[in-house]
Amino acid sequence: MNTDIYKEGPVVHNAAFIDGHSVEIPILKILQQDGTVYQGAELPKINEEHAVKIYKALAFHRALDERMIGAQRQGRISFYMAALGEEAASIGGAAGLEAQDMIMAQYREQGALIYRGFSLENFMNQMFSNEKDLGKGRQMPIHYGSNELNYMTISSPLGTQIPQAAGYAYGQKLQGKDAVTLCYFGEGAASEGDFHAGLNMAAVHNAPVIFFCRNNGYAISTPSDEQYVGNGIASRGVGYGMKTIRIDGNDILAVLKAVQLARAYAIEESKPVMIEAMSYRLGAHSTSDDPSGYRTKEEEEKWHAHDPLSRMKSWMLAQNWWDEAQETALFEQLREDILAAVKVAEKIAKPPVEDLVSDVYDQVPEHLQKQLTSLKAHIKKYPEAYPLTAGRIK
């Protein structure tokens, strides 16, 4: 037996429970809401070019979310999930990585793709499930993926990416790659069994993975105080023996600094890191949700004052790296471009029916071929029910 795993503390002779529930975990804050830096705060590695790229990604994200919520309400797309108020978490995370690092997201991290250069056309093609969609129309809207940009395709079942990230990062380690895997998830996903399996695997096998929890206070309609009793999600990283940090998730400089440090540690030590970013979901969980049923307008207004975009904008104005004319021009152009892209993507034909059974097998199995033949016959019999597809059946 390896007795090294039993790390003895002080010896006692009277029985008493250990209670670490009240242990305070510090939170990293660098940038104040007015754009000034806290006294003594250490800035991340960032220059003007990097800052402008980050801010433009934040603006793109905000404009895209606002436009696509409107598109869903108009019936142009079926579903959408915005990240209003949380944009700094995904974009700051991606900005602290290198291009070769893998990103495994949940479903509110389109900002990481924006930062990495996913085109507006690719966003639209995916949401409209047309024939130019990289996923061939097989996924719900906002379930993106990009092999080119090292962004693993999003899966709807909650938490599946967490053990996958542990395994992928372990593979990066075995191959000797100068790369890590960053895994995003919400505090709600941390209630899934996959969370514990993934963290334990990464800790035991020393996988270079950064577990990035976006704690926005709600798992759909369930507030965090009804999800768990412990000290957030950061305490669980400590429990699994990981280097852990809690940050202000609306402070883009704190996010960037934490990820830069986490990546350096994961590469040098080949070990996992836990980051808990404290934020708030200003919008609904999705376009299928009405948050007025479980939280107050007063609560939402309180968090509007912590907007990550205005915070970074104020800081950049103070650095003379940005001005109001650039601000106005950027948002006007983004809204114009996004609306134009919507009008183009919604007119592109849907993928051919054959794409349903391609890409998995070298030869389509007989049982799938029979199902495809049956589906084609059904569509031809009821063309009025499938107006966008019936005319393309071979």
CA distances from 390 to 139, 166, 312, 334, 371 (A): 21, 44, 50, 36, 16
For the stretch 184-197, pLDDT in tens is 999 999 999 999 99
Cβ atoms within 10 Å of 144's Cβ, excluding its own: 25
State yes or no: pLDDT of 139 exceeds 80. Answer: yes
State yes or no: pLDDT of 105 exceeds 60. Answer: yes
Rounded Cα distance, 241 and 204, in Å: 9
Give the H/E segment covering residue 269: helix 252-269
- The pLDDT of residue 358 is 85
For the stretch 36-68, pLDDT in tens is 999 999 999 999 999 999 999 999 999 999 999
Residue given tokens 């940009």 in the structure block: 149
State yes or no: pLDDT of 174 exceeds 70. Answer: yes
Q: Which of 175-179, 268-272, 280-284, 356-360 is the least confident region?
A: 356-360
For the stretch 273-294, pLDDT in tens is 999 999 999 999 999 999 999 9
Helix, strand and coil in the chain, % to nearest 5: 45, 10, 45
- The pLDDT of residue 239 is 92
State yes or no: pLDDT of 112 exceeds 80. Answer: yes
Rounded Cα distance, 42 and 310, in Å: 21
For the stretch 225-242, pLDDT in tens is 999 988 999 999 999 999
State yes or no: pLDDT of 19 exceeds 70. Answer: no
Q: Which of 69-73, 323-327, 339-343, 354-358 is the least confident region?
A: 354-358
Residue given tokens 């400590």 in the structure block: 238
- The pLDDT of residue 93 is 98
Tokens of 352: 């051919």
- The pLDDT of residue 77 is 96
What's the mean pLDDT when you consider all of the chain? Answer: 93
Cβ atoms within 10 Å of 117's Cβ, excluding its own: 13
Q: Catalytic amino acids?
A: 281, 285, 294
Task: Report the topology of domain 22-345.
Answer: Rossmann fold (3.40.50)
For the stretch 346-394, pLDDT in tens is 999 988 888 888 888 889 999 999 999 999 999 989 988 887 765 577 6
Whether 166 and 199 have beta carbons less than 8 Å apart is answered as yes
**Exposure string over 259-291, b if 16+ CB within 10 A, otherwise e:** bbbbbebbbeebbbbbbbbbbbbbbbbbbebeb
What percent of the chain is modeled with pLDDT above 90?
A: 86
- The pLDDT of residue 325 is 98
- The pLDDT of residue 354 is 86
State yes or no: pLDDT of 114 exceeds 80. Answer: yes
Nearest to 128 by CA among 109, 116, 117, 143: 143
List Cβ neighbours of 200 (8 Å cut-off, separation of 6 or more). Answer: 240
Domain range summary for the chain, segments of one domain joined by +: 22-345, 353-392
Mean pLDDT of 310-335: 98
State yes or no: pLDDT of 165 exceeds 60. Answer: yes
- The pLDDT of residue 22 is 55
- The pLDDT of residue 261 is 97
State yes or no: pLDDT of 131 exceeds 70. Answer: yes
Nearest to 171 by CA among 225, 131, 221, 207: 207
Rounded Cα distance, 214 and 85, in Å: 12
Q: Which of 17-26, 49-58, 70-79 is the least confident region?
A: 17-26
